[in-house]
Chain A
Amino acid sequence: MMSTQDAYYIPHKATWPIAATLGLLTSLAGFANYLNGNAAGSTFMLIGLGIFILMLAGWFTMQATESETGMYNRGVGISYRMGMMWFIFSEIMFFAVFFGTLWYTRNLSVDWLAGIGEGPGRSSGLLWPSFEAVWPTNGPGNVGGEYEPMGAFGLPLLNTLLLLTSGVTCTWAHHGLLANNRSQLIKGLAATVGLGFLFVGFQALEYMEAYHDMGLTLGSGIYGSTFFMLTGFHGFHVCVGAIILSVVLFRSWKGHFTPENHFAFEAAAWYWHFVDVVWLGLFIFVYMM
Chain B
Amino acid sequence: MSAVTAEHDHDEHHDHGPEKGFLRWIVTTNHKDIGTLYLFFALAMFFVGGTMALIIRAELFEPGMQFVTPQFFNSMTTMHALVMVFGAVMPAFVGFANWLIPMMIGAPDMALPRMNNMSFWMLVAGVMMLASTLFMEGGAPASGWTLYPPLVLQTGAALPFAIFSVHLLGISSIMGAINIIATIFNMRAPKMTLMKMPLFVWTWLITAFLLIAIMPVFAGAVTMLLTDRFFDTSFFDAAGGGDPVLYQHIFWFFGHPEVYVMILPTFGIASTIIPVFARKALFGYSSMVYATAAIAFLSFIVWAHHMFTVGMPLSGELYFMYATMLIAIPTGVKIFNWTATMWRGSMTFETPMLFSIAFVVLFTLGGFTGLMMALAPIDFQYHDTYFIVAHFHYTLVPASVFILMAGGYFWLPKWTGNMYDERLGQLHFWLSAVSVNILFFPQHFLGLAGMPRRIPDYAVQFSDWNMVSSIGAFIFGFSQLMFVYIVVKTIKGGTGEKVTDEVWEGAAQHSLEWTLPSPVPYHTFATPPENIPTEHY
Q: Which residues of A come within 8 Å of B, CB atoms?
A: 1-2, 4, 6-18, 20-21, 24-25, 28-29, 31-32, 35-36, 65-66, 69, 71, 75, 78-80, 82-83, 86-87, 89-91, 93-94, 96-98, 100-101, 104-105, 109-110, 112-113, 117-120, 123-124, 137-141, 143-144, 217-219, 221-226, 228-229
User: Considering the complex, which residues of chain B in the window 225-256 have a beta carbon less than 8 Å from any beta carbon of chain A?
Assistant: 226-227, 230-235, 237-243, 245-246, 249-250
Query: Cβ of B114 and Cβ of A86 under 8 Å apart?
Result: no
A73 to B317, CA, bound (A): 53
Contact yes or no, A100 B250, CB < 8 A: yes
User: Is A6 within 8 A of B1, CB to CB?
Assistant: yes
- Is A97's CB under 8 angstroms from B220's CB? yes
Q: Please name 5 further chain A to chain B contacts, defined as beta carbons within 8 Å, in addition to the given A35-B226, A94-B219, A143-B239, sorted by A numbering.
A: A32-B164, A87-B174, A139-B238, A219-B234, A221-B242
Identity of the chain A residue whose Cβ is nearest the Cβ of B208 in the assembled complex: A86
Residue B29 at the chain A interface, CB threshold 8 Å: yes
| Chain B minimum-CB-distance residue to A226 | B235
Give the one of B2, B157, B216 with max A CB within 10 A. Answer: B216
A90 & B174 in contact (Cβ 8 Å cutoff)? yes
Q: Contacts A8-B4, A10-B3, A17-B114 given; indicate if A105 touches B121 (C-beta within 8 A).
A: no
What total of A-B pairs shows CB separation below 8 Å?
254
- From B6, B125, B314, A25 is in contact (CB under 8 Å) with B125
In Å, the complex CA distance between A141 and B237 comes to: 10
In the bound complex, CA of A109 to CA of B224 (Å): 17
* Partner of A2 from B8, B161, B216, B217 at Cβ < 8 Å: B8
B178 touches A (CB below 8 Å)? yes
Majority SS at the chain B contact face: helix
Given A18-B121, A28-B168, CB of A109 within 8 Å of CB of B214: no
The answer to whether B235 touches A225 (Cβ under 8 A) is yes
Instruction: Determine if B53 is an interface residue (Cβ-Cβ < 8 Å).
Output: no
B185 within 8 A of A: yes
- 7 residue pairs, one from A and one from B, having the closest CB atoms: A97-B220, A141-B239, A139-B241, A219-B232, A17-B118, A222-B241, A143-B240
Contacts A90-B216, A101-B224, A229-B227 given; indicate if A2 touches B4 (C-beta within 8 A).
yes
Contact residues in A for B241 (Cβ distance below 8 Å):
105, 109-110, 113, 137-140, 143, 221-223
CB closest chain-A residue, reference B3:
A8
Closest B residue by C-beta to A84:
B178
Contacts of B19 in A (CB 8 A): 12-13
Enumerate B1-32 residues with CB–CB distance to A below 8 Å: 1-8, 10, 12-13, 16, 19, 26-29
Q: Are A104 and B2 in contact (CB under 8 A)?
A: no
Partner of B112, one of A16, A79, A221: A79
> Does residue B113 face the partner (Cβ distance < 8 Å to A)?
yes
Question: How far is A21 from B121 in the complex, measured between Cα atoms in Å?
Answer: 6
How many angstroms from the CA of A225 to the CA of B312 in the assembled complex? 24
A193 to B16, CA, bound (A): 42
Residue of A10, A123, A223, A224 with highest tally of chain B CB at under 10 A: A10
**Contact status A120-B237, CB under 8 Å:** no
In the complex, which of the residues A83, A123, A221 contacts B234, with contact meaning CB atoms closer than 8 Å? A221
Q: Which of B163, B178, B233 has the most CB of A within 10 A?
A: B233
Contact B312 A119 (CB under 8 A): yes
Q: Is the CB of A218 within 8 A of B227?
A: yes
Distance in angstroms between the alpha carbons of A138 and B240 in the assembled complex: 5
User: Which residues of A lie under 8 Å from residue B177 when comparing CB positions?
Assistant: 86
| Min CB–CB distance B141 → chain A (angstroms) | 13
Chain A residues positioned under 8 Å from B332 (CB to CB): none
With a cutoff of 8 Å between Cβ atoms, the chain A residues found around residue B227 in the complex are 218, 225, 229
Contacts of A222 in B (CB 8 A): 234-235, 240-242
Least CB distance, A40 to chain B, in whole angstroms: 14
Please give, as numbers and ranges, the residues of chain B lying within 8 Å of A217 by CB-CB distance.
232
Asked whether A105 and B114 contact (CB < 8 A) given A2-B4, A2-B8, A140-B239, the answer is no
Determine if B29 and A13 form an interchain contact, defined as CB atoms under 8 angstroms apart: yes
- Cα separation A16 to B187 with both chains bound (whole Å): 24
Contacts of B233 in A (CB 8 A): 218-219, 224-225, 228-229
A104 and B249 in contact (CB under 8 A), knowing A139-B234, A143-B239? yes
How distant is A232 from chain B, measured CB to nearest CB, in Å? 10
Q: How far is the CB of A131 from chain B (nearest CB, A)?
A: 9
Asked if A31 meets B160 with Cβ closer than 8 Å, knowing A18-B121, A25-B129, A120-B311, the reply is yes
A97 touches B240 (CB 8 A): no
When distances are taken between beta carbons in the complex, the residues of chain A under 8 Å from B28 are 13-14
- At the interface, yes or no: B213 with Cβ under 8 Å from chain A? yes
